[in-house]
Amino acid sequence: MSDSFDLGEPSQPAKPEAYRVLARKYRPQTFDQLIGQDAMVQTLGNAIRRDRLAHAFLMTGVRGVGKTSTARLIAKALNCIGPDGTGGPTIDPCGLCEPCRAIAEGRHIDVIEMDAASHTGVDDVREIIDASRYAAVSARFKIYIIDEVHMLSKNAFNALLKTLEEPPAHVKFLFATTEVNKVPVTVLSRCQRFDLRRITADKLAEHFLMVATQEGVVADPEALMLIARAAEGSARDGLSILDQAIAHAGLEGGGVSADAVRQMLGLSDRGAVRDLLGLILAGDGAGTLASLRRQYDYGVDPLSVFRSLLETVHGVTLAKVGTPDDIAQPLEEREARREWAAALSFPTLHRLWQLFLRGHDEIAKAALPIEAAEMALLRAIHASTLPDPGELARQIVGGKVTKPATSAAPMSAPTPIAASEPTPVAHATLPATFQSLVDRLEEHGAIALAAKMRHGARVVSYEPLALVLSGSRPISADTLADLNATLKAATGQGWRVSIADSPGDPTINEAEKSAEAMAKAAILESPMIKAALNAFPDAELEQWPGQRSSA
């Protein structure tokens, strides 16, 4: 009896497949899976069916909307040969032929991807130009995908221009960028441009539900909507958050809940935000600060609290306008917004929006965010107790605004300064008043002399061709001689200008200031303005009818 020995290699346990994050695992493989870009897909489909393909495409949009994925799909569409190997360019690549599979796996020799962030120089572009002269090895088209193309240097762009404008028939260029404004106009004009839109929150939530179902994870619709809104239109960002939420749910079989997502992202609870807004509108300062501190202790960012307050005020305003309810919102949220819309006026809502927006900006820049948030909420409470301008005007007219006991006595109007009666006009072509005379000097070009008369001359008497000035404001002999000569040149007749020992009338400038003071005093004495100033003691009258320009 002989023993037999097995000298073969011992069996090795199969290595588990490395985990692929959701953003890579669910990257679209067909145009049907590319969500939110229907207009672009239709345009590309029509171009392919009519054989009107551009030689260069530029995809632009915010992060995560599918720019690079679209470029790879276009590469598939142009090089697909179908399962039987006889197909042509199609908007529905089969995904089964060798070109489709090789492009999807990133190993096709004729589809070259380059990251412009790490290949910015002119030498990198020269390599592309030199290689583009040679025909494709196995594909229908040789395709260059350049991601973040705006990071190429100026010399690199210039080197690419000629080849980009007249490339060989077998070459296609596909560019992707998040900052299209940095791409030279000379490059843009040589490309067919597609602006990929932000993906709407409801489409993202629907997509995330499909992904969660494929992963065998139960997720609340509200949780998926929270993730979709946090993604801000980016499918990749949203899938990364969903990946984190699934890991956060743990291994106990629990699903992705809205509360868990809020805690993970540091978002405010909707119920807590509604309570906070109610306390603000009620003028409860202590309750408002306590509510904010509770959320802060739970880990909620003060900036997130104000963002939620802004969203709520915006939603209430839309409800007041009559916009249909957002079905993605919980029922309690919709009912609360309808109630507030019925109770709050448009001026109040607009004022709350401005106050919360200002608070949001202050918190974003503050060294002490929670303290800045508390001060902003207290400011909103104080403003919420004040009537809006329309209501204030109605209260003033109705006499409902009471005068505080400590208010100062109203100002008395200054005594008007008597002005001399103008002498009857003797000559129709001559200035009838001293003011008109000064205006005539300015029209004649004697600006400096007119300024001296406006600010320094006090008139004792005036009639055409005869002017008597007060000696209380000394006028030099040179000025008098200059005035005589200029008046003769400006009017065509000789004037008699003399000085008298009399105070004379106020100067033109003094008279204007006196008139302004009288106008202001009259306005301050009006019942409406007095009531407004009593209601707001720190207010000031900055402009009134008849006030001169500060210039």
Digit-coded pLDDT (tens) for 192-208: 898 888 888 888 989 99
CA–CA dist 267, 295 (Å, integer): 9
Question: Which tokens belong to 265?
Answer: 């992202």
Instruction: Please tell me the predicted confidence (pLDDT) of residue 139.
Output: 87
Residue 28 pLDDT grade (very low, low, confident, very high; cuts 50, 70, 90): confident
Residue 409 pLDDT grade (very low, low, confident, very high; cuts 50, 70, 90): very low
- Over residues 275-318, the pLDDT tens digits come to 899 899 888 889 999 999 988 887 788 998 999 899 899 999 99
| Pair (215, 248) in one structural domain | yes
* Better-predicted residue by pLDDT, 550 or 26: 26
- Over residues 95-131, the pLDDT tens digits come to 889 999 999 888 899 999 988 888 888 988 898 888 8
Q: Is the residue at 377 inside a domain?
A: yes
**Which among 195, 228, 248 is the end of a domain?**
195
| Pair (253, 275) in one structural domain | no
Q: 18-22, 101-105, 124-128, 442-446: which has the minimum mean pLDDT?
A: 18-22
Q: Is the residue at 259 inside a domain?
A: yes
Residue 411 pLDDT > 50: no
| Pair (238, 291) in one structural domain | no
Q: Tell me 499's DSSP state.
A: E
**Which among 216, 240, 265 is the end of a domain?**
265
Check which CATH number belongs to the domain holding 76 and give it: 3.40.50.300
Q: Is the residue at 455 inside a domain?
A: yes
What is the arithmetic mean of pLDDT over 314-323?
90
Check which CATH number belongs to the domain holding 233 and give it: 1.10.8.60
| Pair (169, 297) in one structural domain | no
| Pair (363, 291) in one structural domain | yes
Residue 542 pLDDT grade (very low, low, confident, very high; cuts 50, 70, 90): low
Q: Is the residue at 153 inside a domain?
A: yes
Read off the amino acid at residue 144: Y
Residue 6 pLDDT > 60: no
Closest CA to 191 of 102, 91, 58, 281: 58
CA–CA dist 64, 92 (Å, integer): 22
What is the arithmetic mean of pLDDT over 224-237?
86
Check which CATH number belongs to the domain holding 385 and give it: 1.20.272.10
Domain count, the chain: 4
Mean pLDDT score across all residues of the chain: 81
**Which among 217, 241, 265 is the end of a domain?**
265
What is the arithmetic mean of pLDDT over 331-345?
85
Q: Is the residue at 536 inside a domain?
A: no
What is the arithmetic mean of pLDDT over 512-520?
82
| Pair (260, 301) in one structural domain | no
Other beta carbons within 10 angstroms of residue 252's beta carbon come to 5
Q: How many CA atoms lie within 13 A of 296 on its CB side?
A: 16
Q: Is the residue at 422 inside a domain?
A: no
What is the arithmetic mean of pLDDT over 353-371?
92
Q: Is the residue at 532 inside a domain?
A: no
Check which CATH number belongs to the domain holding 461 and give it: 3.30.300
Instruction: Please tell me the predicted confidence (pLDDT) of residue 145.
Output: 92
| Pair (88, 161) in one structural domain | yes
CA–CA dist 192, 200 (Å, integer): 24
Instruction: Please tell me the predicted confidence (pLDDT) of residue 392.
Output: 58
Burial tier of 334 (Cβ tally within 10 Å: 0-12, 13-18, 19+)? middle
Q: Is the residue at 405 inside a domain?
A: no
- Over residues 243-276, the pLDDT tens digits come to 888 887 765 456 888 878 877 776 666 778 888 9
| Pair (366, 462) in one structural domain | no
| Pair (83, 133) in one structural domain | yes
pTM, full prediction: 0.57
Write out the residue range of the structural domain in which residue 325 sits.
270-390
CA–CA dist 275, 269 (Å, integer): 10
| Pair (248, 276) in one structural domain | no
CA–CA dist 42, 25 (Å, integer): 25
| Pair (49, 174) in one structural domain | yes
Instruction: Please tell me the predicted confidence (pLDDT) of residue 414.
Output: 36
Instruction: Please tell me the predicted confidence (pLDDT) of residue 451.
Output: 86
| Pair (371, 450) in one structural domain | no
Instruction: Please tell me the predicted confidence (pLDDT) of residue 389.
Output: 58
Q: Tell me 118's DSSP state.
A: T
Residue 52 pLDDT > 60: yes
Q: Tell me 256's DSSP state.
A: B
